[in-house]
Homo-oligomer: A and B are copies of this chain.
Amino acid sequence: MKRSRRLFRTRAVKEGLPPGTLVHLGEASSEEVAITCFTYTEQSIQEQRTNAIDSFLPPNANKGTIWIDVEGVHQVETIRHLGESCNLHPLVLEDIVSTLQRPKIEDYDDYLFLVVRMLIPAQDGDFSTEQVSLILGKNWLLTFQEGTKGDVFEPVRERIRSGKGKIRSQGADYLAYALLDALVDRYFTVLEQFGERLIGLEEQVSLHPHPRVLVQLNEMKKEAIFLRKTIWPLRDVLSFLQRDDTDLIAESTRIYLRDVHDHAIQAMDTVETYRDLLSGMQDLYLSSISNRTNEIMKFLTVIGTIFIPLTFIVGLYGMNFKYMPELEWHWGYFSVLALMALITLGMIVYFRHRKWL
């Protein structure tokens, strides 16, 4: 049910509102919004964690690359202020706070606007998603995360801080790539977890087919639909990034984006394989359940059938007719016992011959 609810959340509450109205859609949160600002060149690096973002707005180009990361989008005023400072289109701001967006990319000439979804594995093998919006300018990058409790970007921050790799020597486009790469890599963690559960379920299907297995199969099918919904549009986003001739993305970065695109296709492939396997498992479950029931019924029916003529015979000699010659015979009882043993034997042989027993 929970899964279904998740699949059903829509933007229905926004009916009647003018475009560009900032309404936070998603789970309410009372957490403080955290804003981190990285300013770096190949030589220098400055990291600020603040709630007052005015000091570094609008992102100033001549100081190197600027990355402003906003964790939490439920305080619409902060978003509006930031948006106005950076001269963002009202629809972009609206999409940032409406955290039920489908992954997409939009080109606003001066900047690219990307919406993607982060997968967050939960303890019980389940997972949740969180919207991440990226706005990529000439040498600045804004990122907006739905949640405030940690993300997959920490390794990227580490790399910026330490100056390892080529991240500091590249522009904002490479930074955007690095974040997308971290995000897609996380998908595989969730997919692997999903795969483990699937293998567990597969064992249950073949060894202990039980109705509750079917419910679990159905739940996993819904999760696979959900994963598909999350990953599928990402492919278009990444293929757009790779192909488009916007000059916001350097040629050298495109090669890296091709790599992420490739990973997204791999992830999608894996989800499709899961769906195929789940559907195969359902077939297997249904037929093994039906097979098991049939086996039992067949066995019992065969047993019952063996007794049917015996019961008839004992009923026959339970009749109270005055004149029934067999009843008078001294060996009558034993003959009947012998006869019944014979019949039983004959039927068993016959049923075995027909492979019914």
Chain A contacts to B: CB under 8 angstroms: 1, 4-5, 7-8, 10-12, 14-20, 89, 91, 94-95, 101-102, 104, 106, 108, 152, 154-155, 159, 164-165, 167, 177-178, 181-182, 185-186, 188-189, 191-192, 195-196, 198-199, 202-203, 206, 211, 214-215, 218, 221-222, 225, 229, 255-256, 258-259, 262-263, 265-267, 269-270, 273, 276-277, 280, 282-284, 286-291, 293-294, 296-298, 300-305, 307-312, 314-324, 326-333, 336, 354, 356
Contacts and interface: CB of A to CB of B under 8 A. Distances in A.
17 contacts: A8-B192, A8-B198, A10-B188, A10-B195, A15-B152, A19-B256, A102-B262, A104-B262, A211-B287, A296-B302, A304-B308, A312-B314, A314-B319, A317-B320, A318-B319, A320-B324, A321-B336
Contact of A333 (B265, B318, B319): B319
A258 B105 CA distance: 11
A198 to B, nearest CB: 7
A331 to B, nearest CB: 8
A170 to B, nearest CB: 11
The 3 closest A-B pairs by CB, nearest first: A8-B195, A314-B315, A317-B319
Contact of A185 (B4, B11, B94, B229): B11
A327 B320 contact: yes
A279 to B, nearest CB: 10
Copies in the complex: 5
A214 B284 contact: yes
Given A188-B12, A211-B291, A304-B305, A333 B323 contact: yes
Contacts of A15: 152, 182, 185-186, 188-189
Given A11-B266, A323-B332, 4 more contacts: A4-B199, A14-B185, A18-B155, A106-B258
Contacts of A327: 320-322
A10 B194 CA distance: 11
A19 B178 contact: yes
A108 B167 CA distance: 21
Contacts of A263: 11
A102 B319 contact: no
Nearest to A332: B321
A209 B297 CA distance: 18
B323 A7 contact: no
A322 B330 contact: yes
Contacts of A356: 296
Contacts of A167: 18
B91 A255 contact: yes
Contact of A159 (B18, B102, B218): B18
Nearest to A206: B215
A331 B282 CA distance: 57
